[in-house]
Structure formats: structure tokens, C-alpha cells
Amino acid sequence: MRILFTIILWAKFLSISVTLHGQSDSSEYENFWANGKEVGVNVTPLLGKFVPFNLTTQSLQDQVIAVKTKWYGEKRAFILNFGIDISSATDNNQIFLSLGYERRRNISDRWKYTTGWEGILTTLSGNAGDDPILGISKPYGIEYHFTDNFYLSTEARFILGFLDGPTLQISYPNSIYFNMLLE
């Protein structure tokens, strides 16, 4: 009877130990990006040469050079996005600039979901003659990680602008970014 009791106690101890160890590993993986820096580049024009995207003719994404940067803390990232339209179709270069924060959530080992809030200034538009937008934005992104350091991402966003009266826009995912963890 004592031997059976000792075996049960050891089995219980081992199961608690394995459970605690398993929990610490998953929390480390969720926080893999803590205090890291990331940079991403719009690769839509390059991928569009190999894979035909059915973007409208009004889409300016074929001529946009864009960079995304993220500086992660423990739970959130400070983000800075900048893009400029270099097409010769317009006399003035059009820009996109946003500053804000972002949170990342795991969907699976390879798929991640991001969301946050940003202050935004943009003159990029699919329609000629549209006014610039100064306001706030709520991005919703999806990421596919090849490794811990390299991934592809895209995002949609709701934009509430304040210049020339309130403006509400929905920006669907029309750019694909290649991102790299620097640290």
C-alpha cells in the first residue's frame, strides 16, 4: 500500500512539473518579440510581376514605396509606417504616414493576428482630387511566419479623418509586406 501511495505521489508531482514547464515554454513563445525591432518593405510591386493581383486601375499600390517599422516592448509595439507614391501619373508625390501602437496575438505557430491604433496622415487615394486625410486609424493585420525572424503580412484598416469634415474610409488589404526581425 505504501508503494502504491508513493507511486501516486511521484506521478502527481511529475504531472505538475510537466504542466508548469509546458506553461512557461508557451508564454516564452508568445513573448518572443519582446524588446525586438522589426522592419517591413512593401513587396506588392515585385510579387505583381509573378502573380497577377486583381487590383483596380485606381489602386496606386504598384507605384508605392512603403516601409513599416515596429519597436516591441513587453506586450505592445510602437509602429511607424511611411509610404510615398513615385508614379509619374501625378504632379505631386503622394504620401502615407502613421504613428501608433500594435498588439500581436498567436493564431497558430505560423499565423499571427495584429491590431492597434494609429494617428494617420495620408494623401494617397485611388481617386484623383480626393482630399488629404488627417485622423485616426484602426488596422487589422494577418501575418504568416516562415521562421521566427521572417514573415509576410497584410492589413486592412478603418480610417476616421477630420480634415474638411468627418470622413470614414475602409482600406482593404492591397499591399503585401516582407518583414524581418532585427533583434
Q: Which is more confidently placed, 136 or 125?
A: 136
Q: Strand 37-42 and strand 94-106: pairing?
A: unpaired
Task: Give the pTM.
Answer: 0.71
Q: Residue 10 carries which side chain, given as an amino acid letter?
A: W
Identify the band that residue 125 occupies on the pLDDT scale cut at 50, 70 and 90.
low
The answer to whether 116 and 101 have CB atoms below 8 angstroms apart is yes
pLDDT single digits (tens) 69-80 = 999 888 899 999
Give the per-residue pLDDT at 13: 47
Q: Which of 151, 81, 82 is nearest to 116 (CA)?
A: 81
pLDDT (tens digit per residue) in 133-144: 899 999 999 999
CATH number at residue 51: 2.40.160.20
Residues 24 and 37 occupy one common structural domain: no
Q: Please tell me the distance from the alpha carbon of residue 4 to that of residue 16, in angstroms, as a whole number.
A: 18
Residues 2 and 90 in one domain: no
Containing structural domain, residue 20: 1-30
